[in-house]
Amino acid sequence: MRRTWLIFSQAVTVAVAVLFVVATLKPDWLQRRQASGLPSGISINAVQPVALGSAVSNPVSSYSAAAKRATPAVVSIMTSKMPARSPHANDPWFQFFFGDRARQLQEEPQIGLGSGVIVSPEGYLLTNNHVIEGADEIEVMLADGRKARAKLVGADPDTDVAVLKVALDHLPAIVFGNTDAVQVGDVVLAIGNPFGVGLTVTSGIVSALGRNQLGINTFENFIQTDAAINPGNSGGALVDANGNLLGINTAIFSRTGGSLGIGFAIPVSTARQVMEGLIKDGQVTRGWIGVEPRDLTPEIAETFNLPVKQGVLITGVLQEGPASAGGMRPGDVVVRVADTPVANTSQLLTAVAALKPKTAAVIAVQRGEKSLELKVTVAQRPKMPVRVER
């Protein structure tokens, strides 16, 4: 009996030693052995421990499909502008001191680079106004290598949107996305021609929505992103993970001239509205009431003992203008335009601009202790700012 027990103990010891060696040197042998007992079509690598309450997701490892879908519709834009003629160009002394160099400077055009997005098979393109502003000639180059002169259909400096048109066949138009569904954290791609190196795709996320009061445009409602946007990307496309157009890349915050991870894009909903107005009427029709607004600060609200803490203080009203005719006075605080609450100047301008000219709108104001609703007949926003009387 003792001999039998000794043989059994030695066998178990040898078996444990062999198992240890195999587990250390050839662990895959054990995995294959364990996997052989699983149902057909399931491997051991597919069985992962999951904590209770955790979600299982399959992260996207590539956005190549979105890039392939959107990139053909993004173009590089090159503009040229002849320099202004110097008043001393015919001065003999000027010619004597500067000679051929002066003549060369007078003849060399100024070159600008940017990007654009083809939005219709008929040849319409969206870009930034500052990309083509003052240009004598505009040339676009497609991703397939084709080049063409572009015609300026119209531009809107208030939103920094411009519309171009090219006469080419078989143009790849981008698909418009839904900006109302965009959320902070969504993956986005920025496509353009930074520094003139050629079409480039960078990735990031939506960092913020509704950015305004940046001093870039009159009407601001930017999508902020950390996707790398550099000089030359202006006018290019900001697209979602499916390659649909969400915005037109417009500006960056930078202390060095390069990307610091803070870029701004005009929402495609705004760009599309501007484009349709420029194509149809040659201009963008916006509402206007003739006031000079200022943000209501807590200090101002406390000084005037106002019961509201948010709104827009009216510091000036144009005499015989729409707001004046509707009963608005300097010192009123606008808190709502039609059904849209307003908390700052940018929101007021945007809300009023969205109103249709020659229609009546109810504007809620706080006048001291009184809450009033004024009926104002909206006028069309003039192209040049109008001086208001205080």
Contacts for 202 with CB less than 8 Å, ≥ 6 apart = 189, 190, 227, 228, 229
Helix 27-35 with 2-25: angle, nearest 10 deg: 100
Tokens of 83: 């320099």
> Residue 146: in which H helix or E strand, if any?
none
Tokens of 257: 């001239």
Choice among 156, 158, 160, 240 that is catalytic:
160
The values of phi and psi at residue 132, to 5°, are -115, 0
Among the options 76, 115, 130, 332, which is catalytic? 130
Tell me whether residue 170 is one of the annotated catalytic residues. no
For 172, phi and psi rounded to 5 degrees? -85, 105
Map tokens 């290598």 to a residue: 145
120 is catalytic: no
What separation in angstroms does the CA of 22 have from each of 18, 34, 120, 285?
Answer: 6, 14, 65, 79
Of 76, 115, 207, 234, which residue is the catalytic one?
Answer: 234
Is 189:203 a contact under the CB 8 Å cutoff?
Answer: yes
51 Cβ contact list (under 8 Å, min separation 6):
none
119, 104 contact by CB (below 8 A): no
What amino acid is encoded at 224 in this protein?
A: Q
Q: What angle do CA 332, 337, 339 make, to 5 degrees?
A: 140
Report whether 202 contacts 227 (CB < 8 A): yes
333-358 burial, b for 16+ CB within 10 Å, e for fewer?
A: bbbbbbeeebebbbbbbbbbbbbeee
**Could you give the CA distance from residue 90 to residue 86 in angstroms, rounded to a whole number?**
9
For residue 130, indicate whether it is catalytic. yes
- In this structure, what DSSP letter does residue 32 have? H
The catalytic residue positions are 130, 160, 234
